[in-house]
Amino acid sequence: MRVLVTGGAGYIGSHTVALLRARGDFVVVLDSLELGHRQAIGDTPLVVGRTQDQALVGQVIGDHRLDAVIHFAAYKAAGESMRNPAKYFDNNVYGSLCLIEAAQQAGVRRFVFSSTAAVYGTPQSLPVGEDAPLGPENPYGESKLLVERMLRWFDTCHGLRSVALRYFNAAGAALDASNGEDPRCVQNLIPLVMNAATGRAAKVLVFGTDYPTPDGTGIRDYIHVLDLAEAHARALDFLAQHDRSDVFNLGTGKGASVLEVLREARRASSVDIVAENTARRPGDPSAVWADNRKARAVLGWQPRYGLREIVETAWAWNRSHPDGFA
Ligand SMILES: NC(=O)c1ccc[n+]([C@@H]2O[C@H](COP(=O)([O-])OP(=O)(O)OC[C@H]3O[C@@H](n4cnc5c(N)ncnc54)[C@H](O)[C@@H]3O)[C@@H](O)[C@H]2O)c1
């Protein structure tokens, strides 16, 4: 296939670009480089620009005769979105609208979208299936749900077929430690733990030790970035084989607590990572994990990696690149 990957120089995008190219797809990356890195994509053709630039998007699709789009480009910090919702509605919703319209007008019929488990908000039951009630609890999650809804209308009105992939907690790094998440701007538990292991941070804060979970700390579903990349390739194949749109959860189907993550990280790094217990953060659910049976059944996808490989690959990347690509 011939694929435009927006946000392809970012964390999940760059791993996906590597996998697509390894299987023979032709890829062009569109990235503002605001949060991404040229080094993360090697010699992949890169256009530095924004999804909002419809003329540019149309020109890139036409010049390279691209027939599919994978859309990663967005801001992803839920906490920041509560302080600055306009930033998220502007980039994630308006930026996506511009891209979707330009792609549709340029003749693209296949579109894969990075959505998130944040569209569900606090789950009412576990595991979380695709038919669980939707109730984002921050502008970030709302921005992703709005784009899912726009895509449904572009399907109905223009025949643009799309797959929305709702990721749970992306983590881990390339198996050869050549690529991983930028340690300089992280909000998620595993990179924060890595920063404490490399000495970039003094300690890890454990928010809440009195949750109704076996060890009292919060439980999340950590999914390896390489498993996410594989799911994007399968989503493109799905769109080539089926004339319809769909939505899939991407998680392992198993949760891990904060203390389990810390235990794995101390083992992998041999560093006695300092953790400090503190109060719960308002709005944090006690436990979230995915029902991934639909992605398994329909996409033929299954996660290959678990918490151990996630932490080991993240540690190898962080140890060898304590400042990321800087
Ligand atoms: N990391 C996670 O745990 C997670 C979980 C669920 C969903 N997601 C979604 O997956 C996608 C990728 O996440 P990531 O972790 O790789 O983030 P990232 O910040 O590493 O990558 C995003 C990339 O998009 C680029 N970008 C942002 N706005 C742009 C725009 N308007 N035009 C062009 N480029 C733009 C940035 O420069 C960056 O390279 C995002 O849409 C995010 O919301 C991530």
DSSP code per residue over 209-266 = S-SSSTTSS-EE-EEEHHHHHHHHHHHHHHHHH-SS-EEEEES-S--EEHHHHHHHHH
The span from the CA of 13 to the CA of 6, in Å, is: 8
172 φ, ψ (degrees, to nearest 5): 90, 180
131 and 42 in a common domain = yes
Same domain, 204 and 265: yes
Mutate to test the pocket of ligand 1, among 4, 5, 12 (most ligand atoms within 8 A of CB): 12
Nearest protein Cα to ligand 1, atom 35: 73
Residue 282: the pLDDT is 84
Q: Pick from 60, 76, 148, 166 the residue to mutate for probing ligand 1's pocket: most ligand atoms within 8 Å of its CB.
A: 76
Pocket test for ligand 1, best of 6, 11, 14 (most atoms within 8 A of CB): 11
pLDDT number for residue 223: 98
Residue 178 CB partners (closer than 8 Å, separation 6+): none
Does the residue 298 lie in any domain? Answer: yes
Minimum CA distance residue for ligand 1 atom 43? 76
Q: Report the 10 Å Cβ neighbour count for 280.
A: 13
Same-domain check for residues 21 and 148:
yes
The CA 36 to ligand 1 mean position distance, Å, reads 8
Residue 76 CA, ligand 1 centroid: distance in Å: 6
Q: Alpha-carbon Rg of the chain, whole angstroms?
A: 19
Determine the atom of ligand 1 nearest the C-alpha atom of 14: 16
Residue 132 counted as domain residue = yes
Q: Which domain holds residue 292?
A: 189-221+253-320
Is 162 found in the same domain as 30? yes
In this prediction, residue 283 carries a pLDDT of: 82
- pTM value is 0.98
H helix runs in 117-224, sequence order: 139-158, 189-198
The CATH number assigned to the domain holding 298 equals 3.90.25.10
> Does a structural domain hold residue 241?
yes
Specify whether 158 is located in the same domain as 277.
Answer: no
Torsion of CA 126, 306, 175, 311, to 10 degrees: 90
Q: Which of 250, 265, 299 is the last residue of a domain?
A: 250
Q: How far is the CA of 5 from the centre of ligand 1 (A)?
A: 11
Residues 6+ apart with CB under 8 A from 141: 78, 116, 118, 119, 121
Which ligand 1 atom is nearest residue 30's CA? 33
Nearest residue to 138 via CA among 84, 177, 183: 84
Cβ proximity of 54 and 95 under 8 Å: no
Long-range contacts of 128-135 (CB under 8 A, 24+ apart): 128/249, 128/288, 128/289, 128/290, 128/291, 129/249, 129/291, 129/293, 129/294, 130/166, 130/247, 130/248, 130/249, 130/291, 130/294
Distance between CA 125 and CA 180 in Å, rounded? Answer: 32
Residue 174 lies in a domain: no
227/81 same-domain check: yes
| Cβ atoms of residues 274 and 285 within 8 Å | no
Tell me the C-alpha distance between 93 and 88, whole Å.
7
What gap in Å lies between CA 47 and CA 71, rounded to an integer?
14
Q: Is residue 326 in some structural domain? A: no
Predicted confidence at residue 185, as pLDDT, reads 83
Domain count, the chain: 2
Last residue of a domain, one of 250, 267, 296: 250
Query: Is the residue at 198 inside a domain?
Result: yes
Query: CA–CA distance from 313 to each of 57, 176, 178, 263 (Å)?
Result: 34, 8, 10, 15
Q: Are residues 151 and 257 in the same domain?
A: no
Do 11 and 139 sit in the same domain of this protein? yes
Ligand 1 centroid–CA 35 distance in Å is: 8
Q: Annotated active-site positions, please?
A: 140
Q: Are 120 and 213 in the same domain?
A: no
- Separation of CA 264 and ligand 1 centre (Å): 27
176 domain residue, yes or no: no
Q: Whose CA is nearest to atom 30 of ligand 1?
A: 50
Same domain? 48 vs 90: yes
Q: Which atom of ligand 1 is nearest the CA belonging to 50? A: 32
Whether residue 94 is found in the same domain as residue 126: yes
- Using the atom order of ligand 1, give the atom closest to the CA of residue 73: 24
Here the CATH number for the domain that contains residue 238 is 3.40.50.720
Pocket lining for ligand 1, CB < 6 angstroms: 6-7, 9-13, 30-36, 50-52, 72-74, 76, 91, 95, 114, 116, 167, 169-170, 188
Q: What are the per-10-residue average pLDDT scores of the chain (326 residues)?
A: 98 98 98 98 98 98 98 96 97 98 98 98 97 97 98 98 98 98 92 96 97 98 98 98 98 98 98 97 92 98 98 98 91
Query: Ligand 1 center to residue 114 CA distance, Å?
Result: 8
How far is Cα 127 from Cα 120, in angstroms, rounded to an integer? 12
Q: Which atom of ligand 1 is nearest to the CA of 13?
A: 16
Same domain (yes/no): 130, 216:
no
Which residue among 31, 90, 147 is best mutated to probe the pocket of ligand 1, counting the most ligand atoms within 8 A of its Cβ?
31
For residues 181 and 76, what is the distance between their CA atoms, to the nearest angstrom? Answer: 13
The answer to the question of residue 147 being in a domain is yes
